[in-house]
Amino acid sequence: MATVSIKDEYIEVLAALGDLQEAMDLALKQYTLDKIAAKISELRQRDTKYEKKYQLDYSTFSQRVSEDEAFIKHIENSVDKVWEIDLADW
């Protein structure tokens, strides 16, 4: 188990409200869930941005660029010449 430092002012408040360890566990759990939710939201926004840009979902786009040379030429000529960077980021 790792040890972390907690400011005395937080310890006093949390201890007054009940079990300090339970309060810290709950706070860390909530913090972790909030960070995960924020990351999921960020990734969904990125996905939506690329879906709008290329008018395809990731699976279809990935498949088409790996199999369809005409599609690649269309993307390079009318959407973005550096689509590979978008694919890697997507």
Distances, alpha carbon 17 to alpha carbons 3, 22, 24, 67, in Å = 22, 10, 12, 61
Total H helices, total E strands in the chain: 5, 0
With tokens 């339970």, the residue in question is 22
Tokens 């709008």 locate to 52
Q: What pLDDT, on a 0 to 100 scale, did the predictor assign at position 1? A: 78
Question: What average pLDDT does range 69-75 have in this prediction?
Answer: 97
CB 54 within 8 A of CB 79: yes
Provide the pLDDT for residue 40.
99
Tell me the one-letter amino acid at 15: A
Structure tokens at 24: 């810290």
Give residue 16's pLDDT. Answer: 86
> How does residue 66 score in pLDDT terms, banded at 50, 70 and 90?
very high
Per-residue tokens: 64: 């088409």
Percent with pLDDT over 70 in the chain? 100
